[in-house]
């Protein structure tokens, strides 16, 4: 039986911020991802999501928008934007937006993108 006391905590272990699942990575991968976004490795790792959690987040944002997703995950809206930005390969996320009616019926789908600075931009139809 192996003694678990001898294990060191690896700095290359990524932990999903939603599910808590962890996976091993390597220093070069983490450094390259961080450099791509202009942040440190620790900052990038603090916004890491695994694929399943990322897909679930995208579905929530598409269905209810950034504010609803932030409310559901009990985080700030800016954190949701960074989760999408750092984990999403630059993909556009469509959101349903009420088109001015009080009852919420008759929604139009508006496409939003999160630019490299983390600013949400509505795309022209």
pLDDT of the residue at 104? 45
Instruction: Give the least confident one: 28-37, 54-63, 79-88, 109-118.
Output: 109-118
**Structure tokens belonging to residue 56:** 């679930």
**Strand-strand pairing, 13-15 and 93-98:** unpaired
Residue 1 within any structural domain of the chain: no
Domains held by the chain: number = 1
Domain assignment present for 2:
no
| 6 part of a folded domain | no
Range of the domain at 32: 12-122
* Within a domain: 59: yes
Residue 108, helix vs strand vs coil:
strand
Residue 111 neighbours by CB under 8 Å, 6+ apart:
92, 93, 94, 95, 122, 123, 125
In a domain, 79, yes or no: yes
pTM beyond cutoff 0.75? no
**pLDDT: is 100 or 90 the higher one?**
90
Task: Tell whether 72 is covered by a domain.
Answer: yes
């Amino acid at each position: 039986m192996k003694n678990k006391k001898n294990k060191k905590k690896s700095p290359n272990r990524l932990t999903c911020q939603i599910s808590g699942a962890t996976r091993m990575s390597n220093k070069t991968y983490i450094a390259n991802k961080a450099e791509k976004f202009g942040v440190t490795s620790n900052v990038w790792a603090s916004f890491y999501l695994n694929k399943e959690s990322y897909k679930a987040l995208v579905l929530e944002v598409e269905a209810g928008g950034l504010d609803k997703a932030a409310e559901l995950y009990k985080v700030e809206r800016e954190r949701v934007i960074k989760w999408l930005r750092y984990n999403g390969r630059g993909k556009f996320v469509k959101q349903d937006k009420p088109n001015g009616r009080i009852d919420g019926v008759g929604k139009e789908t508006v496409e939003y993108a999160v630019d490299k600075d983390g600013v949400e931009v509505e795309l022209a139809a």
